[in-house]
Amino acid sequence: MAERLFSVAIDGPSGAGKSTIAKAAAARFGFIYVDTGAIYRTVGLAARRADADPHSEAAVAALLPGLDIRFDYGPDGTQRMYLNGEDVSAAIRTPEASMYASAVSAIPAVRAFLLDMQRDMARTHSVVMDGRDIGTVVLPGADLKIFLTASLQARAKRRLAELAAKGDPSTLEEVTADMARRDEQDSNRAAAPLKAAPDAVLLDTSELTLNESIDAVCALVEGRR
Instruction: Provide mean pLDDT across the span 127-152.
Output: 94
Report the distance separating Cα 185 and Cα 47, nearest Å. 18
pLDDT digits over 171-192, tens only? 999 999 999 998 888 888 777 7
CATH code for the structural domain at 7-36+94-224? 3.40.50.300
Secondary element (H or E) of residue 18: helix 18-29
Helix axes 172-188, 95-104, angle to 10 degrees: 10
Whether residue 2 has pLDDT greater than 70: no
Indicate the domain borders of the chain.
Answer: 7-36+94-224
Amino acid 104: pLDDT: 94
Instruction: Provide mean pLDDT across the span 72-95.
Output: 89
**∠ CA(184), CA(189), CA(193), 5° rounding?**
90
Amino acid 56: pLDDT: 96
- The rounded percent of the chain whose pLDDT value lies above 90 is 69
Whether residue 114 has pLDDT greater than 50: yes
- The rounded percent of the chain whose pLDDT value lies above 70 is 99
Residue type, 172: L
Query: If pLDDT is split at 50, 70 and 90, which confidence band does 1 have?
Result: very low
Phi, psi of 72 (to 5 degrees): -140, 180
Residue type, 59: A
Instruction: Provide mean pLDDT across the span 184-204.
Output: 87
Quote the mean pLDDT of the chain: 91
Amino acid 80: pLDDT: 92
Amino acid 193: pLDDT: 81
Instruction: Provide mean pLDDT across the span 73-86.
Output: 87
Instruction: Provide mean pLDDT across the span 135-144.
Output: 95
Helix (H, G, I), strand (E, B) or coil at 179: helix
Report the distance separating Cα 225 and Cα 221, nearest Å. 6
Torsion from C-alpha of 96, 97, 100, 101, nearest 10 degrees: -150
* C-alpha distances out from residue 129 to 37, 120, 145, 164, Å: 10, 12, 10, 27
Could you tell me the sign of the dihedral formed by the alpha carbons of 212, 159, 37, 32, in that order? negative
Q: Are 133 and 37 in contact (CB under 8 A)?
A: no
Instruction: Provide mean pLDDT across the span 153-159.
Output: 93
Whether residue 106 has pLDDT greater than 90: no
* CB environment 2-36: b (16+ within 10 A), e (fewer): eeeebbbbbbbbbbbbbbebbbbbbeeeebbbbbb
Report the distance separating Cα 130 and Cα 169, nearest Å. 28
Instruction: Provide mean pLDDT across the span 121-141.
Output: 92
Amino acid 86: pLDDT: 97
Instruction: Provide mean pLDDT across the span 140-160.
Output: 95
* Nearest alpha-carbon partner for 192 in 131, 150, 149, 124: 131
Contacts of 32 (CB under 8 A, 6+ apart): 26, 73, 121, 125, 126, 127, 128
Amino acid 98: pLDDT: 85
Amino acid 97: pLDDT: 87
